[in-house]
Structure 1
Amino acid sequence: MTSICDLTATALSRAIAKDELSSREVVEAHLERIAHQDVQLAAFVTVDADGARRGAQICDAAPAPIGPLHGVPVGIKDLTDTAGLATTCGSVLFRDHVPAEDDLVVARLRRAGAIILGKTNTPEFGFGAVCTNKLCGPTRNPFNPALTSGGSSGGSAVAVATGMVPLAHGTDFGGSVRTPASFCDVASIRPTPGRIPSHRRPLGWDMLATHGFLARGVDDLELALSVFAGGDVHDPLSMGVVNDERPVAIRPRIAVTTDFGVAPVARDVRARFAAACAALAVVADVVPSAPHCGGAIETFRTLRGAHIANSYGELLKARRAELTPTVIWNIEAGAKLSAEDYLNAERRRTGIYRSFRELFSHTDFLVAPAASVLPWPNEISDVTAIDGAALETPIDYLAVTFIVSLVGFPVLTLPAPRAENELPFGIQITAPPGCESRLFAFGRVIENELGFSHRWPKLP
């Protein structure tokens, strides 16, 4: 018999709307799942049981569904403000920080009828390959608790993978929804920057960081994006996002690349990706090809370093002793950059963007691995080498995902088919800006027909 916690957000919203389930039943089932499993996994920093029950009571008393997510429990990554609920950013500096207002993404969730079950774990300020901090963690991989769930939306990925929530919010700068999705066998969407507005972002034209979502299937991701999409006058990026509703070709043309020509990728990932590409050839014309990405790694290092130093430089000066080594390294990496360094990086970025555009003039989708490595032990804080070859910096293992962040194209991540004894591994499917509907349509085909879909971990 199917458990309430096994149902997707889409199925739950329908069942609640039809009075087949009450919101209170749904909330209690998920709180019970958290109580049983999160002691071992540490997906949540904060669980708001009382607030969730109050929200369920409001939903059950409403004469009609409040919105598309009426009564559905969700998790919010603990980098994002939630009114009346602690938002720690994974840092002891914000241990007692309780925002007075919701972030816009949370406000839209509530208006859609969703119930905030709690805040999911993240490395301090989202900087870290392992989802841990001085307050909570490590968030353990449900397929092998000795291994990492990935940074930095690992808490959300684990919560979704194990049925603690059907849907969870995340953020993605260089791969922070895609890597945990790959490690934990769930689906994710990093939409076109601006598709989900961020009205408080200090750098309004910055498209490196976006909100995103994790779920166990494509339908839930599409439902979530429908709730959040829409411009906000305080976010200049959101005002220029245009939908591209052209249908997917009956047999689409897919460019596939293991490494974009520049990214370090482990041998075992290359083998898993080759098998995934062979499976995709059943429904699409698969052609090895990639945009020209020369200088992409150096470009991302520069832009990321400059953004982090600008955002957190003063915090490093005032509170250095209370910050994790990973955060310190990230801030210091950008401290010595000049304006010329930054503008030269933007020049290279423009060239890479135009190369992506050229590729998509004769390609429907670009597919690559969603992570350059498979999950590693939680005790190892950073990926410093791949297959014995040393990396220049601790963020270089993210090159296979951060290259797409550079150009701001939307990305859907899906779990790849695997043997029973294999660790999860995902692929990222990229389309031109504004083409999320086409991503979802194609993702639904390979999810249903080829088995690019979530499998439950074997947990007590």
Structure 2
Amino acid sequence: MTSKPSICDLTAKNLARAIAKGELSSHDAVEAHLARIPEQDSRLAAFVTVDAEGARRAADICDAAAAPVGPLHGVPVGIKDLTDTAGLATTYGSVLFRDHVPTEDDLVVARLRRAGAIILGKTNTPEFGFGALCTNKLCGPTRNPFDPALTSGGSSGGSAVAVAAGMVPLAHGTDFGGSVRTPASFCDVASIRPTPGRIPSPRRPLGWDMLATHGFLARGVDDLELALSVCGEGYANDPLSAGVVNDDRPLAGRAKIAATPDFGVAMVARDVRACFAAACDALAGVADVVPSSPDCGGAVETFRTLRAAHIANNYGELLRTRRAELTPTVIWNIEAGARLSAEDYLNAERRRTAIYRSFRELFARADFLVAPAASVFPWPNEISDVTAIDGKALETPIDYLAVTFVVSLVGFPVLTLPVRRQAHELPFGIQIIAPPGCESRLFAFGRAIENELGFSHRRPTLP
């Protein structure tokens, strides 16, 4: 029988295939990963809650089935603790919801279960997903598996670490301004932030809000594509879902790539710029790479305004009634939105529209746009916020995310991949951006550069 460490090294796709062929049981897969979690999580703090008994029951049901119930039959997964799981505590990273147990799954969770996935537990996140460090009053900090003194990134840091350390082969995340992409870059894993609406969110109060999306983290492109395939069906109660159109056309010839280190507006560290330049040199071996960027003038101020307005609208009541129990980061975020006027909001939407159209113009001459997946390398867990880059002060605590939130602003799908690096170097990833609906094209290109350029996950050395 395959040894337990080998099971934890398998991708989700290969694990599902082995279970379908009878080479492994769902029980084997679950027990191997449940054993890995206590081995590693006491120092890494990736999970807020582990549902060992629930996972074992689900594995027994899978093993009793006459045939695989879906493409993820028997595969253990982690769910970010911002997302509801029926019968399993969902804290949103907040002491206010320490005892909250939802009665229904979020749709993305229900679809994962329907595909045969087995939920091992809930991965850590800052309170309500707001914070540069993946920590809260319940759990954390979630530590980087390549150097536990460093951050895993926010806010899907728990999911990134769980995948990198082999606690699960696949994990769910959410991404507002970079919350899937930054942890993926810091922890040397791959991620997908799909076109908004591709994974429906029918409970979202603001149905046309496309700043936040569900996404996934894994050790390779195949697993991201598999996860999106089982969760990406449309849903009538999500108006964004109805507008997503698949564009599955393959590339015609050699890929044309526009490359930008900063979109012309983001502060990006010198060492990140150097790594990105090296990545572009490597990409030039398989594609035509040309320095170019959409016109993103005003993007930083636009995102700050829209983000703040949404947060104040969603969480303003908590600030009024439970302020003492909230983290300082959450308080700052809510207060930033409370000062905005309707004119501020609409002017931001006007600028956002112009930036979107500039992205569209760029994609008339390029197949993909690439940029760094983070503006800095992981920093020590003792430092709660990025306040400066290369000695230059940032205006707000979220500005270090500008290199990712520019893309959130316009709603284009993004695949991130770790770049090739030396063993002593910290992980670093790139964003590969495509027009809305072009996830299949992203996955095909990502798979090619995984194989041809070695832009792929490197396992951390685990005790």
1:95 to 91, 94, 98: 98
Once the 2 structures are TM-superposed, how far is the Cα of residue 459 of structure 1 from its aligned partner?
A: 1.2
Q: Distance in 2 between matches of 1:101 and 1:262?
A: 42
Once the 2 structures are TM-superposed, how far is the Cα of residue 132 of structure 1 from its aligned partner?
A: 0.2
Aligned match of 1:39: 42
Once the 2 structures are TM-superposed, how far is the Cα of residue 250 of structure 1 from its aligned partner?
A: 3.0
Aligned match of 1:157: 160
Aligned match of 2:218: 215
- Which secondary structure state, in structure 1, belongs to the residue aligned with residue 335 of structure 2? helix
1:111 to 110, 114, 125: 114
Q: Distance in 2 between matches of 1:378 and 1:252?
A: 39
Once the 2 structures are TM-superposed, how far is the Cα of residue 254 of structure 1 from its aligned partner?
A: 0.2
Aligned match of 2:73: 70
2:206 to 203, 225, 247: 203
What are the superposed Cα offsets for residues 225-257 of structure 1, whole Å, 9 maximum, x if unpaired?
000011111100001100001102331000000
- Which secondary structure state, in structure 1, belongs to the residue aligned with residue 452 of structure 2? helix
Aligned match of 2:31: 28
Once the 2 structures are TM-superposed, how far is the Cα of residue 371 of structure 1 from its aligned partner?
A: 0.2
Quick one: which amino acid aligns to residue 56 of structure 1? A
Q: Distance in 2 between matches of 1:12 and 1:55?
A: 16
Runs of 4+ in 1 over 3 A off after TM superposition: none
Once the 2 structures are TM-superposed, how far is the Cα of residue 385 of structure 1 from its aligned partner?
A: 0.3
1:443 to 432, 436, 446: 446
What are the superposed Cα offsets for residues 304-342 of structure 1, whole Å, 9 maximum, x if unpaired?
000000000010000000000000000001101000000
Q: Distance in 2 between matches of 1:418 and 1:270?
A: 14
Q: Distance in 2 between matches of 1:424 and 1:355?
A: 31
What are the superposed Cα offsets for residues 44-91 of structure 1, whole Å, 9 maximum, x if unpaired?
000000000000000000000010000000000000000000000000
Q: Distance in 1 between matches of 2:253 and 2:243?
A: 29
- Which secondary structure state, in structure 2, belongs to the residue aligned with residue 45 of structure 1? strand
CA contact (8 A) 1:257 1:288 kept: yes
TM-align CA RMSD: 0.6
- Which secondary structure state, in structure 2, belongs to the residue aligned with residue 327 of structure 1? helix
Quick one: which amino acid aligns to residue 168 of structure 1? A
Q: How many residues align?
A: 460
Aligned match of 2:134: 131
1:343 to 346, 350, 354: 346
Q: Structure 1: where are the runs of 5+ without partners? A: none
Aligned match of 1:180: 183
Q: TM-score, normalised by structure 2?
A: 0.99
Q: Does residue 376 in structure 1 map to residue 371 in structure 2?
A: no
Q: Does residue 298 in structure 1 map to residue 301 in structure 2?
A: yes
Q: Does residue 389 in structure 1 map to residue 392 in structure 2?
A: yes
- Which secondary structure state, in structure 1, belongs to the residue aligned with residue 34 of structure 2? helix
Q: Which residues of 2 match residues 215-234 of structure 1 at below 5 A? A: 215-234=218-237
- Which secondary structure state, in structure 1, belongs to the residue aligned with residue 417 of structure 2? strand
CA contact (8 A) 1:248 1:441 kept: no
Q: Does residue 283 in structure 1 map to residue 282 in structure 2?
A: no
- Which secondary structure state, in structure 1, belongs to the residue aligned with residue 423 of structure 2? coil
Q: Distance in 1 between matches of 2:174 and 2:265?
A: 25
- Which secondary structure state, in structure 2, belongs to the residue aligned with residue 404 of structure 1? helix
Quick one: which amino acid aligns to residue 215 of structure 1? A
Q: Distance in 2 between matches of 1:416 and 1:210?
A: 24
Quick one: which amino acid aligns to residue 126 of structure 1? G
Once the 2 structures are TM-superposed, how far is the Cα of residue 150 of structure 1 from its aligned partner?
A: 0.1
Aligned match of 1:242: 245
Aligned match of 1:4: 7
Quick one: which amino acid aligns to residue 422 of structure 2? A
- Which secondary structure state, in structure 1, belongs to the residue aligned with residue 450 of structure 2? helix
Aligned match of 2:151: 148
Q: Structure 2: where are the runs of 5+ without partners? A: none
Task: Name the % identity.
Answer: 85
Q: Distance in 1 between matches of 2:197 and 2:382?
A: 36
